[in-house]
Structures are given as C-alpha cells and as structure tokens.
Amino acid sequence: MENFDLIVIGGGPGGYLAAERAGHAGLKTMVVEKREFGGVCLNEGCVPSKTFLNSAKVLDYANHAANYGVKVEGKNSIDQAFVVERKNKVVKTLVSGVKGQLKANKVNMKMGVAKIEGKDAEGYIVSVDGKEKFSAKRLIIASGSTAACPPIPGLKEGLASGLVMTNREVLDLKEIPEKFVVIGGGVIGLEMASYFSSVGSQVEVIEMLTKIAGPTEAEISGILQKSLEKKGIKFNLGCKVVGIEADGVVYEKDGKQVKAKADKILLSIGRRAFTQDLGLETIGVNCDRGAIVTDDKMMTNVANVYAVGDVNAKVMLAHTAYREAEVAINNILGKPDRMNYNVIPSVIYTNPEIGSVGETEESAKAKGLDVKVASLSLMFSGRYVAENTEYDGICKLVINKKTNTLIGAHIIGSYAGEYIVAVSALIDLEVDIENIKKLVFPHPTVCEIIRETVFSIK
Ligand code: FAD
Ligand code: NAI
C-alpha cells in the first residue's frame, strides 16, 4: 500500500489548492477526485455562471447601445447553444490550468471515489473506487457540497423529467425557456434570474423570506430588487412552495394557493455539505447537521485530519475554500495560521452587481458595537456617471466609533465585486479612518467612491 504525507479528498477549489500548496512545500501528496478537477466552482458553479452572465451583459449593452450613441441595427438576441459551447471552452481551459498546476507541483492526481477505511500504524487508509488502497499521515477532506432538495411534493418527479433543474443542469441549458421560475431568491437564484431575464425569459422568483439576497444589507437588497423588477422579473416574497406540477410551481401566499406557470424551474434554496459515504465514522470525525466540524486551524476533532471548503459549511464560497486550504497546509507545515471569517468579501454578479464585506449596521448593533454609517450615491464617482445611464448605485460604510476603523462595506453598482477587496484589507489591517483619507485612489475610477464615502463621514 503506497504511503503519502497527505491525501486530499476532493479536487475542487479547497482540495486542489491544498494539494498544490502541499506539493509545492515538498509533501508527497495525492488528491482524489470523482468527477472533474475544479469541482463545483469551475465545472458547474462560479465560472460557468459568470460566463453566462457576461453574455447577458453584452446583450444588455447592445439593447441599450443607443443610450451611448451607438447604432445597432436589427433585433439583438442570444444564441444560447453558443453561450453553452463558449462556457464549456472556458471551463476546459481553466480545468486544464488546474491540472497543469497540480502536475507542476508533483501532486499525484487520482480519479475515483475516495473512502476512508480506518487507520493503521502507517496512517489513515483511503480506498479509491473500493479497490485500490493508499495510506497517509494526514488527510484533508474537501468533498464540497450539493444542492439542497427538500421533500416538496412533485420535486423528485420534476427533477427526473428535467422540468426542474439545479445549478448543474441549468448551466447546460441550450434553449431559452419562455417562462422561467426560480425557487429561492438567494445568490444562485438571483444570478440566474438576472441572466434569463436579460436573454428573454419571463422570470418569476419565489422566495420564502420577505427580502431577496438573504443576509445582504437591507437597503442594498432593496435596490437590487427594484432594478431587477425594472428588467421585468416578478418577485413573490414571503411565499412557501407546496408542490411542483407538470406546468409550474404551486406556492402559498397569505393562506391561498397560487400557481406560477413554468417551462423550466430552477431549484436554488441553498446547499448542503457533502459527507455521505466518506467513511468519516471509521475514524470518528465529528459532524454537525451533516457538515464537518472544524476549528479556526481547519482541524477536525481527529488528529491530523482537516476539512476545508463547503464541507464544513462555514462560508460556502470558493475564496473561503482557498484560504482555508492555505490555513490547513500552513498548520500541517508547522506555520501557525488561523481563519478570520470577518473579512471575507462576497459578490453577487447580477447586473448591477453587489460587493459586501463585514458587518451591516444591524449586525454590528446586534453585537453591541457603537457604530455610525456613511452612505453615498455612486454618482460621486466620475467614472460611474460616465459609464452608466441609470444611477441607483450606493456605497455604505460601517464605522466602529470606538476604534475609528471600518468594520463593514456594502456597495451596489458596476465593478463593486472587483474593488470590495480593498475594503476587506482596510478592515483586516484595522486602518484608522484618518489614514484611509491619505490613500491615493486612481481617477476616474468607481472605487474612488470609498474615498468619497470616507470623507463624507460625520
Ligand atoms: P467543491 O467545489 O464542491 O468540490 C468538491 C469536489 O469533491 C467535487 O469535485 C466532488 O466531485 C469531489 N468529491 C466529493 N466526494 C468525493 C469523494 N468521496 N471522492 C472523490 N472526490 C469527491 N463561490 C464564489 O466564491 N463565487 C461565485 O461566484 C460562486 N458562484 C457559484 C455559482 C453556483 C451556481 C454554485 C452552485 C456555487 C457557486 N459558488 C461561488 C460556490 C463555490 O462553487 C463553492 O464554494 C466552492 O466550489 C467550494 O469548493 P470546495 O472545494 O469546498 O467544494
Ligand atoms: P442561498 O442560501 O444563497 O439562497 C437560498 C434562498 O432560498 C434563501 O433566500 C432562502 O430563504 C430561500 N429558500 C429556502 N427554502 C425555500 C423554499 N422552500 N421556498 C422558497 N425559498 C426558499 O442559496 P443558493 O442560492 O442555493 O446558493 C448556495 C450557495 O452557493 C450560496 O449560499 C453561496 O455560498 C454560493 N454561491 C455564491 C455565489 C457568489 O458568490 N456570487 C453565486 C452562487 C452561489
């Protein structure tokens, strides 16, 4: 039985980066992947959805070209089969990049289903496809997550017939449905609603809560909702789905049953950590509601067994998985390192897009912090005004009065996802507001809004 310094289970962002860093540090490493390297992120999540959304953005621009003095003749439309084909090319390029990096760092890449089979004197035993066995001194579990599928009547049948899709199927859809219904107004639901609305579907979103975009700051999520409604998306908030029928989704609103007619339905009501059949019980790894319990060094309760990425269900984002992977490897290498979940930015890639990080006024007050909020229209950015024709973007900064530092930022408008990391850094480094005022921002850029908002603090 071949012995490794480290076996990584799962080749998504958490797994492949952990393996790459371990290989780079000289550890004899194997990563096992059962579907395709790159995981959900590269193959059926982040990258495919953003490839779709960029096509929608190009179409939105073409449809509004006249606003910028550009004449576009005839009717613009989407070639959905081409969009899917282009997405596949993008995915192929990035997956081969990941494999290239793993190879360059001398990582052993193994295709198959990994299962922990217990422990012996050599270390942890891992089987692949129930046949070959390997052992390792350490394990990193990075098996990711899957779409949540609750017991809604008719859902199983809908999924089997193709009427209902999860993220996996929707990102391979080669035709534009006339009526597209989304169950769940969270991140996946909103990004896909934004896409299908731009490319011509009539879109309805059914959301259980009374606001969209889950934990997003309330005013920002309100602006996004209004902007998406202007595009034609209908939101049914505070609605509970009670069944799926052949022609649509039945939901309850104010005690009455209503049907949203649909040609295709997207199920996007959250994701669950994937811990099934991993053999965790053979070595006694603790789980809480199906997710592996880890500390801030990414250690589980079992010595030399780590878990990174969606499988610990802390913050299900690819960049969280990356950082957790690095924290795990640093700890394996004896370099002290800990996860700080307070400064993880999140982005919603709708048009307009949202970038946020840290506390909202509400969450800060709930923690007993004494805060003030500065809020400014993005019209204070010259580039924003030059590049847009509608100006609903805002930037909100949350300031800790006691420390005179930023503890949160919430921005809606162009490029928000690209520059939110600047605020993450200012929060992480606890830079005093007076020192932020001395930073020079390039002009004209939309990110100047941070400087402008800082100067507007009263
Ligand atoms: P995964 O990417 O799920 O990878 C886990 C891998 O483990 C999979 O490849 C799986 O096949 C493999 N595996 C599981 N069990 C075994 C086993 N027993 N043996 C071998 N292999 C196994 N996040 C962002 O930050 N930005 C975004 O824009 C974004 N967009 C998203 C869009 C969609 C539609 C979805 C669904 C998710 C999106 N996410 C986004 C979330 C992001 O994809 C995840 O947070 C990220 O993929 C988690 O990485 P991971 O390595 O933990 O797990
Ligand atoms: P989500 O948690 O973002 O949103 C799910 C929504 O569904 C919530 O608003 C919830 O209230 C609602 N809901 C739950 N049950 C429902 C029901 N029975 N009927 C109606 N509504 C219901 O989950 P989503 O959109 O599936 O995405 C999963 C995760 O993937 C995200 O939490 C995020 O971590 C990641 N992701 C990140 C993206 C990004 O960073 N841009 C893009 C897409 C996904």
Count CB-CB contacts under 10 A for residue 37.
24
356 Cα–ligand 2 center, Å:
16
Indicate which atom in ligand 2 lies nearest the CA of residue 209.
11
CATH topology of domain 2-147+272-341: FAD/NAD(P)-binding domain (3.50.50)
Counting ligands in written order, which one lies closest to the CA of residue 184? 2
pTM comes to 0.97
For 155-269, give the CATH class: alpha beta
The verdict on whether 410 is a catalytic residue reads no
Asked whether the CA dihedral 180, 346, 446, 218 is positive or negative, the reply is: positive
Indicate which atom in ligand 1 lies nearest the CA of residue 114.
19
Instruction: Answer whether 274 contacts ligand 1 (Cβ < 6 A).
Output: yes
All residues at 6 or more sequence positions from 74 whose CB lies less than 8 Å from its CB, including other chains = none
Q: Do domains 2-147+272-341 and 155-269 have the same CATH topology?
A: yes
Probe ligand 1: pick from 46, 194, 320, 420, max atoms within 8 Å of CB? 46
CATH superfamily of 352-455: FAD/NAD-linked reductase, C-terminal dimerisation domain (3.30.390.30)
- DSSP per position, 311-326: GG-SS--HHHHHHHHH
The four Cα atoms 399, 405, 408, 410 give a dihedral, to 10 degrees, of 70
Probe ligand 2: pick from 188, 194, 242, 319, max atoms within 8 Å of CB? 188
Peptide bond into 48 cis (omega under 30): no
Sequence spans of domains, the chain: 2-147+272-341, 155-269, 352-455
- DSSP per position, 221-270: HHHHHHHHHHTT-EEEES-EEEEEETTEEEEEETTEEEEEE-SEEEE-S-
The length of the chain, given as a count of residues = 458
**Please, are residues 244 and 251 in contact by the beta-carbon 8 Å criterion?**
no
pLDDT 10s digit of each residue in the chain, 458 long? 999 999 999 999 999 999 999 999 999 999 999 999 999 999 999 999 999 999 999 999 999 999 999 999 888 999 999 999 999 999 999 999 999 999 999 999 999 999 999 999 989 999 999 999 999 999 999 999 999 999 999 999 999 999 999 999 999 999 999 999 999 999 999 999 999 999 999 999 999 999 999 999 999 999 999 999 999 999 999 999 999 999 999 999 999 999 999 999 999 999 999 999 999 999 999 999 999 999 999 999 999 999 999 999 999 999 999 999 999 999 999 999 999 999 999 999 999 999 999 999 999 999 999 999 999 999 999 999 999 999 999 999 999 999 999 999 999 999 999 999 999 999 999 999 999 999 999 999 999 999 999 999 99
Q: Which two tokens stand for residue 384?
A: 């924003």
Q: Measured between alpha carbons, how far is 346 from 358 in angstroms, rounded to an integer?
A: 9
